[in-house]
Structure 1
Amino acid sequence: MLLSLEIRDVLIIDRLSLDLGPGLNVLTGETGAGKSILLDALGFVLGWRGRAELVRQGAAQGEVTAVFDLSPGHAAHAVLAEAGIEADGELILRRVNTADGRKTAWVNDRRVSGDVLRDLSDHLVELHGQHDDRGLLNPRGHRALLDAYAGLDLAPLRAAWAAQRTARATLAEAEATLSRAAAEEEFLRHAVAELDKLNPEPGEDATLDARRRLMQGAARIREDVAKALAALSDDGAEGRMRDALRWLEGAADKAEGRLEGALAALNRALIELGEAQSGVEGALDALDFDPGELERTEERLFAIRALARKHGQLPDDLGGFAEGLRARLAAIDGGAAGIARLQTAVASAEASYAAEAGRVTAARQGAAARLDTAMAAELAPLKMERAVFVTEFAAGEPGPEGVDAVTFTVATNPGAPSGPLNRIASGGELSRFLLALKVCLTGDTPGQTLIFDEIDRGVGGATADAVGRRLQALARGAQVLVVTHSPQVAAFGARHWRVEKRVVADQTLSTVTALSDAERIEEIARMLAGDTVTEAARAAARALLQG
């Protein structure tokens, strides 16, 4: 609900503060008094596109502040949360327009863009009038209005649409992957065959390299090891030591024990020599290799390294790389079956979406019939009983909201062609159509302030009374602000302000005055009688106010 509107130096307003309340708030005044300026100022602070120059002549800047009361569940909280703005019950919008055209806006003292203001305004204020292209006259919003009237829950439809999109995207991705894989199928099969034939093992490169180095080194050291073995054998050191042992044993009996130590040492030496000889023999056996084995080892080592370079892999990673290639081949080989399964999933998702869309279409058509009947009942008291309101359906682009394009159309006379509201109806007719439609759709925008700009234009008498009664009915569940020239409509207001122009120091200024009960009688009498207010006009005004 709009609590207050404060305007400073805007057009012909120097200082103005307007405190509003719930129910029906009425603004009246002579033509040109500045009633439209109030709406321009409110539109400015809400970010609506309007007059380019709003600053009062001679002022450095114009400023408008609007204060709204937000209930805890108000839809504007989502916009505020997205913008990172806190609002606890009260929302203050302030916008400044400097004389050089720069515009700056704040929400609760947080600087914001015009887009944020416009997003907020969609949930704060709804304007209805002959030139309104944001509300009921905008065909792009008719489907949402019908859905709200029908009380439709679109969550299942949106979920079905999302599932359909996901299924289609998955199928498209799989088809693209298969197409890319098929383009490299020949390479994949050749590479996998080459890798399978070689079948490299993790760590094999290091093992082969070490074996190769060993065999290469064996050729160089084997001759020396063989010479060492010969030197240690019977023809070498071992033979000489055994000869020495035999000669010493023959002489030991006559040496009176002097050779016992030498004989013991020589026996130990022979044992150590045998161990050395055995170790050298083992080393010589290890160094004994087949030259063909070296050639085979080098060929496999070089083949593994060449394949690794070819595929840009480390030798130890070739096994995993081969697995990846095999998986891609398997995708190609099993791709047709996989695509078929995904196509089945897409068909199922499309069928689910079509069923949900059909359910929503049927619900909309039922609601449309009820709305058309309700509109016929509303139009009759507004002296438009011959007019025909029809909610038309056409095939729309499928989406999360369904497949229907919905448009509210009218034919002002039986047999006349129907068309969009703003193209068929005249000014007065259009105002009454909009009011009737809003009455039928009441409750679709809880928490909004509804503004009706001269919606009673072109009507009077009983029709104006019917307009006033419907505005009053709307105001029971929402805040309604109406700019009117009709005394019948003004009489239904819970609060009444008079807008008038005055000249101060050669400057024309617009003022707004909250009217007391007595002042309301005078204002409504003026609206009835014109410049000269008579007692009869005052009596008529009292009668209107008394209902």
Structure 2
Amino acid sequence: MLTLLAIRNIVLIEALDLSFGDGLGVLTGETGAGKSILLDALGLVLGARADSGLVRSGADQASVVATFEFDRLPAAIHTLLVEAEFDLELGEPLIIKRRIKADGGSKAFINDQPVGAALLRELGAMLVELHGQHDDRGLVNPRGHRLLLDRFARADAAGLAAAWNTWRDALSELAAARAAIAQAAADQDLLVAYLAELAALAPVEGEEADLAEARAAMQKGERLSGDLEELRKLWAGSDSALASLRSAGRRLDRIAAEHPLLAEALAALDRSVIEASEAEEKLERAAEALTHDPVRLDLIETRLFELRAAARKHQCQVDDLPHTMRSMRSALDAIEGGEANVGVLEQAAVAAGAAYRTQAEALSKARSEAALRLDMAVADELAPLKLDAARFRTAVTRLPQEQWGAAGIDRVEFLISTNPGADFAPLNKIASGGELSRFILALKVALAEQGGAATIIFDEIDRGVGGAVASAIGERLARLAGQGTGGGGQLLAVTHSPQVAARGGTHYVIAKSSQGTVTRTSVHLLDSAGRQEEIARMLSGAEVTPEARAQANRLLEQV
């Protein structure tokens, strides 16, 4: 709930710090004192459009800080903040700050982390419900009526959403399988021809690299053939250098024992013969490896051309051609075996659809039954609120199948008729401002146990009524404030009615004062004596009479 509100330089408010508790809090004051300014300031931290016109004259910027505290953070708020990557400690307050500059710029923060206006609006709707004379959101908006009725009916809407998703997934899988078969069938002749071509080609992974390496070696051999032949002549035959070295070695061997230097010369000559022999062997092997075979080279180049042409045709790499063949075989196999798989998927989709329809029909029935109970609960609240000629109806209508969805097969809308014999119509199409606020109050009381925002604000719900009706409004506001989670609900009411003001657990008075050319709005929490005096003022007008004070005492004693 809202516990603190700090306002700086908003229109006529220079500096204001307010504390709030649970239960019913009332705000009173003379017309024009600035109650709307207070609500505008709160609206800023709830995501309302930042208007530089709200910045107090002469100030560079304005700011509003609202603190919300919970024994346990509501699940919807917790989910929203987690998705927005906020990490809140257990019991940590939620502090929202909005700052507006006089030049029009604005910034928003949640627990000192910058946030966008969209997140602020979404969070604000969960934190505070504001019902006023021209309310076009909350209970008035038909988009939320189905959810409210489901809560009232305690229906398993989440289970239906899961059944819907299962059905949608089954239909999507079936459609994908059918599309795949249709596409494969359309391409079947082409696939057969392509597969025959590739089967005749018989590509092997890694073949391109091997062929390219062999071709490169042959091309080198062709280029080096002359040099290799000259070298072979130098090393081969009886007149070659190697033959001369060997002959010299044999002669030197016969006389090496005659002198140590001859022995050393022989050893050196032997090493030369060994290394020359190794060189001869490597030359022979190189000649074999670089053998230029024109016929084989032509075959290699032809094979490379065919492989690369096939790869271009199928828009893949040469090494991927075997995989392409397997994919084609799989596509052809899918044509033959796909119908059987489609049959299985069709059965799954039919079963999922039947499960969804069963749950949707059950939910629709629960909604219709709950709608009657809700209509009766609201009807019980109308007469005391001077709406005894009005009728309320929860319309549950079946949607066409193309509009079914995760929320079910129904459209739900709250309708009213304000006069006998008049047609039912949406809330905001028929009711006047005062009637609309009282309808909303009646509906809120009927739905009180079904949850909602942590804080509810009614702005002048008692406009145009008095006496017993105002007393009934006050009684229902107090009852609604006491029906929050754990009995600790919070409701704030801006009121001109002393009967409503007397019901408040806390009472704030809004006043406007002027000093020279400077006008300021202030808000004060009243004590018991202050409450009596303010209610007496509301009863008597400009001059507070003893009779008014006595009547104020009677009102306060009745609650």
TM-score range, shorter chain: 0.7 to 0.9
Say yes or no: does 1:138 pair with 2:128.
no
- The answer for the alignment partner of 1:383 in structure 2 is 386
User: Which amino acid is 1:418 matched to?
Assistant: F
Number of residue pairs aligned between Structure 1 and Structure 2: 469
1:479 is the counterpart of 2:490: yes
Contact 1:439 1:470 in 2 (8 A): yes
| Counterparts of 1:314 and 1:29, CA distance in 2 | 82
CA deviation after TM superposition for structure 1 residue 523, in Å:
0.7
Deviation digits for residues 399-440 of structure 1, max 9, x if unmatched? 211122111000012211111111111222212111000001
Q: 1:497 to 1:200 in 2, by over 3 A?
A: closer
Residue 242 of structure 2: aligned partner = none
Deviations, residues 467-519 of structure 1 (Å, cap 9, x unaligned): 10110011112101000001000000000011111102321211111111111
Q: Could you tell me how far apart the structure 1 residues matched to 2:552 and 2:519 are?
A: 29
Q: Is the contact between residue 126 and residue 135 of structure 1 (CA under 8 Å) also seen in structure 2?
A: yes
Shift of 1:183: 3.1
Residues 21-60 of structure 1 show CA distances to partners (whole Å, capped at 9, x for unaligned) of 1100000011111111111100011112375520111111
Give the counterpart of 2:465 among 443, 459, 462.
459
1:538 to 549, 553, 558: 549
Percent pairwise identity: 49
For 1:27, give the aligned amino acid: L
Residue in 2 that maps onto 1:118: 121
The answer to whether structure 1 residue 77 and structure 2 residue 88 are counterparts is no
Which 10-residue stretch deviates more, 151-160 or 495-504?
151-160
Structure 2 unaligned runs (5+)? 222-293
Residue 3 of structure 2 aligns with which residue?
3
CA distance in 1, matches of 2:373, 2:331: 59
Secondary structure at 1:380 match in 2:
helix
Partner Cα separation in structure 2 for residue 544 and residue 204 of structure 1: 100
Tell whether the 8 Å contact from 1:40 to 1:51 is kept in structure 2 after alignment.
Answer: no
Q: Partners in 2 of 1:92 and 1:202 — Cα distance?
A: 64
SS of the aligned residue for 1:543 comes to helix
Quote how far apart the aligned CAs of 1:91 are. Answer: 1.2
Q: Where do 1:294-443 residues align within 5 Å?
A: 306=306, 309-312=309-312, 318-396=321-399, 397-443=403-449
Q: Is the 2:77–2:126 Cα contact (8 Å) retained in structure 1? A: yes
Q: Is the 8 A contact 1:174 1:339 kept in 2?
A: yes
Q: CA deviation at 1:344?
A: 2.9
Q: Distance between the aligned counterparts of 2:206 and 2:527, measured in 1?
A: 99
Q: How big is the shift at 1:320?
A: 4.3
Q: Is the 8 A contact 1:2 1:21 kept in 2?
A: yes
1:3–1:21: 8 Å Cα contact kept in structure 2?
yes
Report the secondary structure of 1:402's partner residue: coil
Instruction: Work out the CA distance in 2 between the residues paired with 1:19 and 1:452.
Output: 18
Give the Cα–Cα distance (whole angstroms) in 2 for the partners of residues 203 and 528 of structure 1.
99
Answer yes or no: is the 8 Å Cα contact 1:23–1:480 preserved in 2. Answer: yes
Decide which of 178, 191, 196 is 1:193's aligned counterpart: 196
Larger Rg computed on CA atoms: 1
| Counterpart residue number, 1:519 | 530
- Cα distance change on mapping 1:203 and 1:38 into 2, 3 Å: closer
Q: Which residue pairs with 1:246 in the alignment? A: none
CA contact (8 A) 2:134 2:433 kept: no
Residue type at the aligned position of 1:87: L
- C-alpha distance in structure 2 between counterparts of 1:4 and 1:317, whole Å: 68
Q: In 1, Cα distance between the equivalents of 2:116 and 2:444?
A: 30
Indicate if the aligned counterparts of 1:431 and 1:457 stay in contact, CA closer than 8 A.
no
1:273 paired residue number: none
> What CA RMSD, in Å, does the superposition of the two structures yield over aligned residues?
2.9
Query: 1:505 — aligned with what?
Result: 516
| Aligned partner of residue 391 in structure 1, secondary structure | strand
Q: Aligned letter for 2:446?
A: C
Mapped partners of 2:324, 2:477: distance in 1: 76
Deviation at 1:105, TM superposition (A): 1.1
Contact 1:305 1:315 in 2 (8 A): no
Using the TM superposition, give the Cα deviation of residue 155 of structure 1 relative to its aligned residue in structure 2, in angstroms: 2.1
Aligned to 1:22: 22
Letter of the structure 1 residue corresponding to residue 419 of structure 2: N
Segments of 5+ residues of structure 1 without an aligned counterpart are: 218-293
Q: For the Cα contact (< 8 Å) 2:367–2:396, is it kept in 1? A: no
TM-score by length of 2: 0.78
Q: What CA distance in whole angstroms lies between the structure 2 residues aligned with 1:62 and 1:319?
A: 70
Partner amino acid for 1:70?
F
Deviation at 1:115, TM superposition (A): 1.4
Q: Which moved more, 1:394-403 or 1:502-511?
A: 394-403
Summarize the Cα distance change of 1:311–1:202 in structure 2 as closer, same or farther, 3 Å threshold. closer
- 1:78 CA drift (Å): 2.1
AA partner of residue 46 (structure 1): L
AA partner of residue 138 (structure 1): N
Aligned residue number for residue 488 of structure 1: 499
> Structure 1 residues 314, 8: CA separation in 2 closer, same or farther (over 3 Å shift)?
closer
| Distance apart, 1:15 and its partner CA | 1.2
Distance 2:344 2:295 in 1: 52
Distance in 1, Cα, partners of 2:49 & 2:468: 36
- In 1, are the aligned partners of 2:50 and 2:100 still within 8 Å (CA)? no
* Change in 2 beyond 3 A, CA 1:65/1:518: same
CA contact (8 A) 1:124 1:449 kept: yes
